[in-house]
Amino acid sequence: MKFRCERDVLVEALGTAGRAAAGRGGSMPILGGVRLSVTGDALEVTGTDLDLTITVATTVSGSTDGIVVAPGRLMTDIVRALEPGAVSVEADDEELRIASGRSHFTVRTHPAGDFPRLPVPSGDSVSLEVSGLTEALRQVTRAASGEESRPILTGVLMAAEEGGLRLVATDSYRLAVRDLPGLGVLEEGQKVLVPSRALNELLRLLGSSEGQVSLRLGAHDATFGLGDGGSPGSSGSLGSSGSVTLTTRLIEGEFPNYRALIPSNYPNRLTVGREALLDAVRRVKLLARDATTPVRIALRPNGIELTVITTDWGTATEDVDAKYEGAEMTVAFNPNFLIEGVEAVTGDEVALDTLDALKPATLRPIDSDAYLYLLMPVRVS
């Protein structure tokens, strides 16, 4: 195998595909590698940990077709450290050689035949608007759990709902629900559970781009396509010269009955400026040295008072102008979860609906029912 390309193009391809590689490979060193395949002037770089696979396709100046598996992190670090300009890459069955200017590196490779078989996308392809999908994923993935001991909660539920698509995630302390009307991605009654890690990688790839991303849902996997052939005009991290395919294995199991957690109505509603609330919570949170220290919100008709009390550091309070309708009470929340919920709500104002100090509360935008963020309160004396 032999090809030449610009350093920055190769760095982007290696870095993007390498995000799916399994660290240093653990008990399977081959999973710490990236697979480079050259056919003509087309280079494909692939990384996988068996659950997540990312393939980057880009154009290079190819001399000899071939396939090689190189240590992913090492090769990325080497290419990134080179001077700007053209990079030559040549490989045989035992080693890969990288040259640029006066720099020359030789790296031992893995047997290409040991690399896992790449997943073949299945299912019909549908197109999604990048802007709407990006916003929805940012609102929902934050509520997914990071605890691998409960794999069901590390996923985002995608379900057909009322003529559209619903995204749901929960870590058992909070719940995020976002509706995308008009998206016929799933058949009526169909639902799948997509790992939040894969969706966060997709968010990273989408960046601030616009256009469309393709989605194929198979029986056991989901495949997202970006770049040339059905994706943003300027794909997230690759510019306009490349394309990316991200395939993730779906999570098997039954997602919790989240509907039972959402009260049908709330007697109390707080309406407050989004930025004013965020700034105030961030300030009083300075005394909360760990997430177990709650922020207390005293709900009053003429506004709210935020309080953080710690035995070691002291007390912080701040008043915030707001409109409140309902019974006066004090409710407490994990400050980090509260901040993430308020950040996810769009618009200038946010509504906080409560039943009482011990029942789940919800954050919503004022002018839309498409999103809600349910938050369990913290019991305080």
Question: pLDDT of 191-207, one tens digit each?
Answer: 999 999 999 999 999 98
Maximal CA-CA distance, the chain: 75
Q: What confidence score (pLDDT) does residue 228 get?
A: 59
Q: Is 64 in a helix, a strand, or coil?
A: strand
Q: Are strands 66-71 and 86-91 parallel, antiparallel or unpaired?
A: unpaired
The yes-or-no verdict on residue 23 having pLDDT over 80 is no
Question: pLDDT of 83-98, one tens digit each?
Answer: 999 999 999 989 999 9
CATH superfamily of 262-375: DNA Polymerase III, subunit A, domain 2 (3.10.150.10)
Strand partners, 54: 47, 246
Q: What confidence score (pLDDT) does residue 255 get?
A: 95
Q: What confidence score (pLDDT) does residue 188 get?
A: 81
The yes-or-no verdict on residue 279 having pLDDT over 90 is yes
The yes-or-no verdict on residue 25 having pLDDT over 50 is yes
Say what percent of the chain tops pLDDT 90. Answer: 76
- For residues 234 and 210, what is the distance between their CA atoms, to the nearest angstrom? 7
What's the pLDDT band for 183 if we cut at 50, 70, 90?
confident
- Rounded to 5 degrees, φ, ψ at 206 are -65, -40
70 Cβ neighbours under 8 A, 6+ residues apart: 33, 34, 36, 91, 96, 107, 109, 110
The yes-or-no verdict on residue 237 having pLDDT over 60 is no
The yes-or-no verdict on residue 289 having pLDDT over 60 is yes
Q: What confidence score (pLDDT) does residue 230 get?
A: 40
34 Cβ neighbours under 8 A, 6+ residues apart: 14, 17, 18, 21, 45, 46, 47, 69, 70, 72, 75, 76
Token pair for 325: 């309708």
The 3-state secondary structure of 175-197, one letter per residue: EEEEEEECCCCCCCCCEEEEEHH
> Are 190 and 235 in contact, with CB atoms under 8 Å apart?
no
CATH (residue range 2-114): 3.10.150.10
What angle (nearest 5°) sits at the alpha carbon of residue 171, between those of residues 249 and 128? 50
The yes-or-no verdict on residue 233 having pLDDT over 70 is no
2-114 and 262-375: identical CATH topology: yes
The number of beta carbons lying within 10 Å of the beta carbon of residue 15 is 19
Question: pLDDT of 118-139, one tens digit each?
Answer: 888 777 788 888 888 999 999 9
Q: What confidence score (pLDDT) does residue 26 get?
A: 59
Q: What confidence score (pLDDT) does residue 209 get?
A: 75
Where do the domains of the chain lie? 2-114, 125-258, 262-375
CA distances to 34, 48, 120, 188, 197 from 22, rounded to whole Å, are: 10, 7, 20, 36, 13
* Closest-CA residue to 364 (of 153, 139, 210): 139
Q: What confidence score (pLDDT) does residue 358 get?
A: 93
What CATH number does domain 125-258 carry, 3.10.150.10, 3.40.50.720, 1.20.1250.20, 3.40.640.10?
3.10.150.10
The yes-or-no verdict on residue 239 having pLDDT over 60 is no
Angle in degrees, 0-180, between the axes of helices 7-18 and 72-81, rounded to the nearest 10: 150
CA distances to 147, 163, 211, 218 from 189, rounded to whole Å, are: 28, 11, 28, 16
What's the pLDDT band for 240 if we cut at 50, 70, 90?
very low
